[in-house]
Amino acid sequence: MTTEVGGAGERGRLTWGDLGRPGEKMAMGVPPFRYTVQVPPGWKVLRPTEELKGDVERMCTATPGWSNLAADKQVALRDLLTGMATQAGLTGAVLTAADAGVDRATGELLMGSLSLAWLRTSPIEADTALAQMMAEGGGDVRQFAGRYSVCVLQRSVADTGIEPVEGAGRTAYTVQAFVPTPGTSWMGIVTGTTPQQRMAELMERATERMATTLHLLPAETVAG
């Protein structure tokens, strides 16, 4: 996608200057169209509402190896899931899901989270060019086929400064999929994160899979 730049009306590559600083003109929100999305099999949705406590408890008790976890690790997982879903809701996520398990050989608690948020990009159309620009500079970037157009996936690693669960380390492995919705000014953003390097590849696959299930429904109601 190209856009007018400069007083002479020359055309060039879209830059942050065309949108203002990140976050200046764009904002998270709820799109004016209906859509469906699927979380990967086995993942549990956590609702940042009055149902959150029950969602967390059901997920914990359904986690393989839960009954064998030490009490302090059970408390840590409950707190982590609650905080994760609450924070995701505060930052604009409309859906949060998580998956967890225990490595039988090592006793290590393995987990990951997925979230969906919508970014309003008005007056710019939410297309692949914009998705590519948003992903660049944040880590490894690649494209993949989405339902409607080419999507962009970004991988990054960061030191969080805290250890979410004992033994997990302070590193966050994060994957973000930017999902264009052509003809609208809404960009879907699916984010997957895990504290374990061994789970990073799984999170990448889960993030991409969830992004490809994003489906606008019905098409005639789509608006910017």
Q: What is the CATH number of the domain that holds 116?
A: 2.60.120.1690
User: What contacts 185, CB < 8 A, 6 or more positions away?
Assistant: 120, 121, 122, 123, 124, 125, 126, 224
For residue 18, tell me if it sits in a domain. Answer: no
CA Rg value for the chain: 19
At residue 222 the predicted structure's pLDDT band, cuts being 50, 70 and 90, is very low
State how many domains the chain has: 1
Answer yes or no: are the C-beta atoms of 165 and 111 closer than 8 Å: yes
Work out the mean pLDDT of the chain and round it to a whole number.
82
For residue 208, tell me if it sits in a domain. Answer: yes
For residue 113, tell me if it sits in a domain. Answer: yes
Answer yes or no: are the C-beta atoms of 190 and 179 closer than 8 Å: yes
User: What contacts 172, CB < 8 A, 6 or more positions away?
Assistant: 157, 158, 159, 160, 193, 194, 195
Look at 3-7, 38-42, 56-60, 91-95 and tell me which has the smallest mean pLDDT. Answer: 3-7
Domain that holds residue 128: 26-221
For residue 21, tell me if it sits in a domain. Answer: no
For residue 6, tell me if it sits in a domain. Answer: no
For residue 19, tell me if it sits in a domain. Answer: no
For residue 30, tell me if it sits in a domain. Answer: yes
Query: How many helices (H) and strands (E) would you count in the chain?
Result: 5, 12
Q: What are 114-129's pLDDT values in tens digits? A: 999 999 998 889 999 9
Q: How many CA atoms lie within 13 A of 32 on its CB side?
A: 10
Q: What are 195-214's pLDDT values in tens digits? A: 888 899 999 999 999 999 99
Q: Is the pLDDT of residue 221 over 50?
A: no
For residue 139, tell me if it sits in a domain. Answer: yes
Answer yes or no: are the C-beta atoms of 208 and 177 closer than 8 Å: yes
